[in-house]
Chain A
């Protein structure tokens, strides 16, 4: 299989209420490295195993949540082709000029029906602190704290999520890998893949548009999830649930909140997806096992609490 077009989630810009507290969380607990601070005060960070300049952007303001999620694509021409296709859909698009984020080329911004902004871009500078490429060790500097490997995916809450899927599937080739249905048998949460990952983004149907459920970071294995759990307790990070496993995607996971109430996940594992595989579906009678495979029931906060 060759991955072309949309390659992977590349960045998320997250709104935080107090930058110093946010930096403690993302740098000192998750283990991201600070790349730099922009003239407008946005702080750029990356995980140790990411090749490109940045993946997480923190913007200080008084309402937490997600500003925008970015996806890296294989060529600049793909952006023009996609912009042309998007004219057939009832959704606003615009161009974000190169340099709006340092080191990033022009971005095709799509205003999704769910109320979220997705940016597609072909160019981001390589980091001068990326992984080694010649006789590469598993890391260059020793990973700190949770030592997250990369920004991996997100779950977003909003309205009309199947309309999102139509656009993302027909224009950008996102595939519907797995579905959690509601009690009436209609899609409640949809898990979309543009790669071999079980999901690159998920959307849940929700009465308010544009909400963030969680921003997720990859860990290597179950031992790393356990180490992260120790860190969460030691430093009194508010944990939603975990360590546990999902039935959906099969990821091993912990959910917790940043100091502005944005939910994060650290996880390891999950099945490999290929676009020719049958779609997996969970009915609502099995939602407990689908979400929390070991507990087999939901908690009070996981589904309703968002920013």
Chain B
């Protein structure tokens, strides 16, 4: 039986991928060959894959409080490597690396 998968869309309006249950948004992006969200440690520590979840249900794993405060987490500002979708998500990349790469 296939695991459920969820649709992940970015706010750029052109990026949409499928993310299987239990796989993080970042890993799903990476597997799809997309570099719209920067990939770093993939372990919630370095903070380069910071995103804002605009809408949708998800749960998160442990993330460094140096990068994601409790207020951030409550506002959906999280690290994509630790975001596990429970439904379709709309995501806005936030990290400083993202901005610098877009220049």
Contact = CB atoms under 8 A, between A and B. Distances in A.
Interface of A: 17-18, 62-65, 238, 257-263, 300-301, 304-307
A63 B67 CA distance: 9
B69 to A, nearest CB: 10
A263 B43 CA distance: 10
Contact of A305 (B40, B44, B64): B40
Contacts of A238: 41-43
9 contacts: A18-B62, A62-B62, A64-B64, A238-B43, A257-B43, A260-B44, A261-B40, A261-B44, A300-B39
Chain A at the B interface: mostly helix, strand, loop or mixed?
loop
B45 interface: yes
Nearest to A304: B97
Given A18-B62, A261-B64, A64 B38 contact: no
Contacts of B66: 63-65, 307
Given A261-B46, A300-B97, 19 more contacts: A17-B62, A17-B63, A18-B62, A62-B62, A62-B65, A64-B45, A64-B64, A64-B66, A238-B41, A238-B43, A257-B41, A257-B42, A257-B43, A259-B43, A261-B42, A261-B64, A262-B45, A300-B39, A305-B48
A64 B61 CA distance: 14
Contacts of B44: 17, 260-261
A18 B44 CA distance: 11
Interface in B30-63: 38-46, 48, 62-63
B96 to A, nearest CB: 9
B46 A305 contact: yes
- Chain B, interface size category, equals 10 to 19
Contacts of B40: 261, 301, 305
Contacts of B48: 301, 304-305
A257 B64 CA distance: 14
Given A300-B38, A304-B48, A305-B48, A258 B43 contact: yes
Interface string B19-31: 0000000000000
Contacts of B43: 238, 257-261
Contacts of B97: 300, 304
A301 B66 CA distance: 18
Contact of B65 (A63, A263, A304): A63
A306 B39 CA distance: 13
Contacts of A300: 38-39, 97
A37 to B, nearest CB: 20
